[in-house]
Structure 1
Amino acid sequence: MRKKLSSFIMLILIVSLFLGCSRQAVAQKDQENYDGRAFYEIFVRSFNDSNGDGIGDLKGVTEKLDYLKDLGINGIWLMPINDSPSYHGYDVTDYYKINPQYGTMEDLKNLLAEAHKRDIKILMDMVINHTSTENKWFKEAKADKNSKYRDYYIWSTDVNVENEISKMGTKPWTKNTTLNDYYYSIFWEGMPDLNYDNKEVRQEMKNIAKYYEDLGVDGFRLDAAKWIYDDQDKNIQWWKEYNEYCKSVNKNFVLTGEVWDNLFAMAPYQEGLDSIFDFPLADSITKGVSGQSIEDLPTEIKDNYDTLKEKNKNFVPAPFLSNHDQNRVMDNLGDTEKMKMAAAIYLTLPGTPYIYYGEEVGMTGSKPDENIREPFIWDNKDASKNTKWMESTNDVDKVALNVQKADKDSIYNFYKELLELRNNYKALRLGEVDKVETNDSGILNMKRTYEKDSISVIVNSTSADCKIPLEKGKYEVLLDNKDNKKIKSDGNINIKAGEILILKK
């Protein structure tokens, strides 16, 4: 008996050990995986000020990691943090230095460590299409034709280039008065383009990537990914080369590209990148909600994703509503309820959704760019909690986080509820997308299916109560902005004007 009992105990220990290892493996897989996470785009200057100088900083981001985790965020995209002469940072003077207004390399290391403790990934903006004119490479190149950095940039002595128009619609050549020649700068004269036909430039960029990978950065958001060359095939070939190198350092490293174009121009980049921002879908969602024409969105989403994954089944689309280059989505929609509808659609999609900081509290802002990047308002009474690098034009008594938290019907509380559902249900993160007919252009019924689980996302963007088809059965109400608790379908259900429903059968 003692021998049998001993064998039984040993079996239990072995099974427990196996289950423990399995749980550890699953946790490790979750930590490594990019697909399905909800990311949050942060303009560091505007987010949170840790030292009272009025400018947001990396320590300020670290201080707010618990806020982000509580919201349901498990990934951060940091807008440029490298040394730069501009407020926005998209013109880098030194890739190996942190903007001193934001802190130090030690502050970045600490942010990475604290984020990873909370299972939050960090992507940093990597701006390698161009540098600043203040970069030492360019300073030497413009002054000396024999400089080792001369061929890091693109030059011409032909005066006729002054009249050229780029594919972007800009005049890309800028006069260099020092040597009486011209340098290529497709975005702006303060951002000279790098010469990727030069192998030394390519190697420099790989060295920089390794530096940040070794620090623990989880990936890059790649600015202007379609403008490395004027040629799409050469662009994609470069990103393949770069991606292969980055993966050789860390197989889980993620490259998310900005390819701002139509779907069919974006799609080929799936061969060289891991993920791209879905600009066409963002446009379709905001226009659809505004114009009450959303019934066909699930079909468009499915077709869109199929196209983006055609040559790379592991490719991850990144849905969003607006970012730092666009008028804020609240300005585009102009209404809290429409904002919630748009959020309910894009935050229940497969892929990796990106929330622009302040979107979750309904911040407003339209061009020029500074007005899209205003300070986040943590408190409407205690101004010491907010950055002050520029005056806010937002209604602070509406968008302040403390005000939003106190209002159970606020955008913030809606976002938090949505993200909790997303994080709890694989069907909402990873499931297939199918359209269920509603017979009304203003009503979306999107079915998300993963293995045996099926969840319906239903949005009525119209001002009328309606009856729509829904498979017979009893449904658990996961979310309802009209406070229904149970739903039973006899083949149809009634939904109220403006109702947002997420149902699990």
Structure 2
Amino acid sequence: MRIFNSRDNECKSPFGSVREGENIHFKITIPRYLGCSSAILALKDDLSGDTVSYSMFWCGMPDENNEQWELDLSNISTGLYWYHFSLDTKQGRKYIMRGWGGEGYFSHTNNDPRYQLLCYDKDFQTPSWLPGGIMYQIFPDRFYFSGEKKEGIYPDKKLHDEWYKIPDWRPDENGIVTNSDFFQGDLKGITEKLDYLQELGVNCIYLNPIFEAYSNHRYDTGDYEKIDPVLGTEEDFKELCSEAKKRGMYIINDGVFSHTGSDSKYFNRQGRYPQNGAYNSKNSPYYTWYKFMDWPNIYHSWWGFDTLPEVEELSYSFDRYINGENGIIRKWMKCGNSGWRLDVADELPDPFIQHIREAIKAENPDALLLGEVWEDASIKESYSSRRRFLYGKQLDSVMNYPFRDAILGFLDCGDGRDMVEMITCILENYPRPVIRCLMNLLGTHDTERVITLLAGERQNGRGREWQANTSLTPSQREYGLKRMRLASGIQFTLPGVPCIYYGDEAGVEGYKDPFNRAPFPWGKEDKGLTEWYKQLAKLRSYCSCLKDGDFKEFGSYERTMGYIRYDDTDELLCVFNAANFPIDFIVPKEFEDGEALLGTILNGRDLEIPANSCAFVKISADKKHISEEPENNEVIPEPAD
């Protein structure tokens, strides 16, 4: 008999995080021989450190050997909590603490791991248009060049006239990689490729920074009010947003608000701008934005890069400039964007993020605020305090690096059971509104290209020259393409929204920056891989449960990972074989007459899955028995011929 499991609806309902004021039902099962005289739920407030004890009620005996105690709780406030159970027994004080998979166990100490409970704001709502969709991240300089020559470009920027080459990576005469080479990808080019993105099923385009800056990555903002001339004009941006919406797509911008460029109108260290910046004069209107230790040459900068002076986000002047009624956030939303991604969200103060949210939602309540957080955002700590990202007053959702870690870990010899546990922990810790909008990524501008990670030689600290001259061999590439299908199959079927980093669907290779930011290989794509992504998009639109359905592990074992997505309409069994040999997988009984999708072969209950491949089987609501425990999850490895 199960003592307690936080993921079992008989033990705790609802699953995972709860909305403020929502009733939570707890039930524990205790052997009669312990002679339990009282049971208490001990709930610790993470912020205050205070613990409140709630007495549980004896509620009967499921059999002659066990008894059950239960409690309904509905009066907790928004916040993060930790809980365990305390029992007075004939054998003394015992505790029920958290074990692997949410399973409870008896302990003589309450210092063991406790259960987590996040309570979010009762009015928390996230955008209605994103769940069930597909995101696409574009590094604007490298996606597509419309061919239109631009005016007003800094003369010291290098403009490539050849599209199919690797970005500049060698240091200049001062030993600095300036990132000042441009392939001239532009906003009009993105607009021209909207039909291509629509074929991929994309409904949200995330643009890396597009505002005027010296570098090609544009994280060194020069002017928040102006589109970088290399990319085009404000009118080009408005046209992109307008044309995207005609196709049911939404544009979100990258908001870089923890720092600006030193070469900006706000700091102006290089003297490029006519007005005085903070570096030029203490009387500059921007002086209070920065953190000088010894003006003008010694100042706080982002991770020590003196070209990226840090901003004092809570400076009234800066806060109003970004978040005011006529501020930057609302200016670009008025031009047509549908939200923002916050760069290094964990380096921004809580009040500043709240002000960003207020500005966004005032302009459009259904707009998106997405944060860059690499860890579990529900328990993230920075600046010596627990962050409150997901309570309903700050972010709508986050970039979901933990899912990426689970997917790549599974493909890199990880045990499927451990990887599903990583995924389920996030689903248990995050609010449901957040999960609906999770940005599930495999690669970004900050990571190596996925196909290179999956099949290439490891970098192991080797420098840029080695990275520039190393690519996949034909056999590595063939293997990498198989692994890409497997990885993306997981990515597209997990809760949340898959995000394609431009060119991943075309098989683009590359190690670290700048090699992961090569131009899109138009005309040289791996068409087979691109077609696979299109089929995954159709799978997402075909299966209702992939929009906002629940998740249940099924059949994970060593090099196999399996789970079921389900809602009131349909149910999808997803199985992934990361072994280098085929397997036979026995599906649940209700799936034996299911619909095999994307090349899956189903013979009765026998699912044949080739090496490094995946399978999907769908059933409709009238065949669903998801509440029942799976009858058999045996995995039978079968050696390759």
Aligned to 1:141: 278
Determine if contact 1:31/1:119 at 8 Å carries over to the other structure.
no
- Equivalent residue for 1:225, pick from 341, 345, 354: 345
Q: Which letter does structure 1 place at the counterpart of 2:543?
A: Y
Aligned to 2:261: 132
1:316 aligned counterpart, secondary structure? coil
Kindly indicate whether residue 288 of structure 2 is the aligned counterpart of residue 151 of structure 1. yes
2:267 aligned counterpart, secondary structure? helix
Instruction: Report Cα offsets for 1:320-370 as digits up to 9, x if no partner.
Output: 111001111111101111111110001111212211001001111112x11
CA distance in 2, matches of 1:494, 1:253: 43
- Equivalent residue for 2:481, pick from 336, 358, 368: 336
1:216 aligned counterpart, secondary structure? coil
Q: Which letter does structure 2 place at the counterpart of 1:463?
A: N
Instruction: Report Cα offsets for 1:374-417 as digits up to 9, x if no partner.
Output: 010111xxxxxxxxxxxxxxxxxxxx22xx33xxxx21111110
Aligned to 1:242: 356
Q: Which letter does structure 2 place at the counterpart of 1:346?
A: Q
Change (3 A) 1:148 1:427: same
Kindly indicate whether residue 537 of structure 2 is the aligned counterpart of residue 419 of structure 1. yes
- Equivalent residue for 1:373, pick from 517, 528, 553: 517
Deviation at 1:424? 2.5
Determine if contact 2:126/2:437 at 8 Å carries over to the other structure.
no
1:445 aligned counterpart, secondary structure? strand
- Equivalent residue for 1:276, pick from 384, 398, 423: 398
Which of 1 and 2 has greater Rg? 2
1:504 aligned counterpart, secondary structure? strand
1:226 aligned counterpart, secondary structure? helix
Q: Which letter does structure 1 place at the counterpart of 2:370?
A: T
Change (3 A) 1:282 1:187: farther
CA distance in 2, matches of 1:449, 1:187: 48
Determine if contact 1:445/1:459 at 8 Å carries over to the other structure.
yes
Change (3 A) 1:436 1:296: farther
Determine if contact 1:186/1:192 at 8 Å carries over to the other structure.
no
CA distance in 2, matches of 1:435, 1:212: 42
Q: How does 1:424-439 map to 2 (within 5 A)?
A: 424-438=542-556
Instruction: Report Cα offsets for 1:24-54 as digits up to 9, x if no partner.
Output: xxxxx99952223211001111111111664
Determine if contact 1:316/1:352 at 8 Å carries over to the other structure.
yes
Aligned to 2:222: 93
- Equivalent residue for 1:114, pick from 243, 262, 269: 243
Deviation at 1:187? 5.1
Which one has the bigger strand percentage?
2
Q: How does 1:165-314 map to 2 (within 5 A)?
A: 176-177=296-297, 181-186=298-303, 188-206=305-323, 207-228=327-348, 235-262=349-376, 264-265=379-380, 268-271=388-391, 272-291=394-413, 293-309=415-431
Kindly indicate whether residue 602 of structure 2 is the aligned counterpart of residue 499 of structure 1. no
Aligned to 2:147: 51
Change (3 A) 1:251 1:30: closer
Change (3 A) 1:424 1:467: closer
Q: Percent of aligned positions with the same letter in both sequences? A: 30
CA distance in 2, matches of 1:30, 1:330: 32
Q: CA RMSD in A?
A: 2.2
Deviation at 1:76? 0.5
Q: Which letter does structure 1 place at the counterpart of 2:371?
A: G
CA distance in 2, matches of 1:30, 1:307: 17
Q: Which letter does structure 1 place at the counterpart of 2:188?
A: K
Deviation at 1:314? 7.0
2:334 aligned counterpart, secondary structure? helix
Aligned to 2:466: none
Aligned to 2:156: none
Determine if contact 2:410/2:578 at 8 Å carries over to the other structure.
no
CA distance in 2, matches of 1:435, 1:315: 18
2:321 aligned counterpart, secondary structure? helix
CA distance in 2, matches of 1:302, 1:339: 23
CA distance in 1, matches of 2:126, 2:329: 23
CA distance in 2, matches of 1:30, 1:269: 13
Deviation at 1:463? 2.1
2:593 aligned counterpart, secondary structure? strand
Q: Which letter does structure 2 place at the counterpart of 1:265?
A: K
1:130 aligned counterpart, secondary structure? coil
CA distance in 2, matches of 1:183, 1:300: 36
CA distance in 1, matches of 2:414, 2:283: 61
Deviation at 1:313? 5.9
CA distance in 1, matches of 2:321, 2:568: 45
Kindly indicate whether residue 478 of structure 2 is the aligned counterpart of residue 349 of structure 1. no
Instruction: Report Cα offsets for 1:145-190 as digits up to 9, x if no partner.
Output: 2322211111113xxxxxxxxxxxxxxxxx734xxx4344435111
Aligned to 1:387: none
Q: Which runs of 5+ in 2 are unaligned?
A: 1-124, 150-160, 162-183, 269-276, 382-386, 456-479, 620-641
Aligned to 1:39: 135
CA distance in 2, matches of 1:219, 1:277: 14
Determine if contact 2:266/2:278 at 8 Å carries over to the other structure.
yes
Determine if contact 1:340/1:414 at 8 Å carries over to the other structure.
yes
Determine if contact 1:326/1:372 at 8 Å carries over to the other structure.
yes
TM-score, structure 1 as length reference: 0.78
Determine if contact 2:406/2:423 at 8 Å carries over to the other structure.
no
- Equivalent residue for 1:465, pick from 565, 582, 592: 582
Determine if contact 2:427/2:435 at 8 Å carries over to the other structure.
no
Determine if contact 1:479/1:502 at 8 Å carries over to the other structure.
yes
Instruction: Report Cα offsets for 1:83-141 as digits up to 9, x if no partner.
Output: 00111111111111111011011100111110000001101111111111122221321
Aligned to 1:396: none
1:145 aligned counterpart, secondary structure? coil
Aligned to 1:25: none
CA distance in 2, matches of 1:145, 1:497: 65
CA distance in 1, matches of 2:126, 2:372: 25
Aligned to 1:390: none
Aligned to 1:488: 604
Moved over 4 A (4+): 29-32, 312-315
Which one has the bigger helix percentage?
1
Question: How many residues get paired?
Answer: 417
Aligned to 1:474: 593
Change (3 A) 1:268 1:30: closer
Determine if contact 2:290/2:299 at 8 Å carries over to the other structure.
no
Change (3 A) 1:182 1:52: closer
Deviation at 1:269? 1.6
1:76 aligned counterpart, secondary structure? strand
CA distance in 1, matches of 2:536, 2:417: 21
CA distance in 2, matches of 1:127, 1:184: 14
Deviation at 1:305? 1.9
